[in-house]
Structure 1
Amino acid sequence: MVPTGIISPEDLAILAGVVDDYCRAFNIRPASPEGQEAAQRAILLFETGCSDPTELRARLAAFEKSGWPQPTGQNSGLE
């Protein structure tokens, strides 16, 4: 993970793989609004320190099972 907020090609490949796995597991089209939201959530998790692919997958799956929390504040990264 790059602490500057810049996502490297390697990091992007990790995120893409995690989101693809998530979408397959929950039968979501990646280009759908739900798939796009999952990608945004994965990036937000990544930028806040969750860079392990296994942990990212688990956290996204937990969101799917319990419902997506609503972002708060103007800088939630999901506007």
Structure 2
Amino acid sequence: MKYHPWLKQCLILTDDLERAANARPYDPNAYNEIIDQLNSLENPSNRHKRRRPWGMILFIIALLLVLLQIILEVFFYS
């Protein structure tokens, strides 16, 4: 089966975690190293969250234009 590289790395780390759990004697450093590696992985589905919220930016610009229009009508065209 063909896996995405990110998923493949997760599967490898899961196997490492299982191996560390079955190891005797207990070694807490092995767990910490595996958890650090898992935390360093970046989920490719989270890439879109880095983009700027263009919808919110356009909404704020439109709101400012409406406020500017109201201010111009009240102070200059009345």
TM surpasses 0.5: no
User: What is the TM-score with the length of structure 2 in the denominator?
Assistant: 0.29
User: What is the TM-score with the length of structure 1 in the denominator?
Assistant: 0.29
Which of these two proteins has the greater Rg computed from alpha carbons? 2
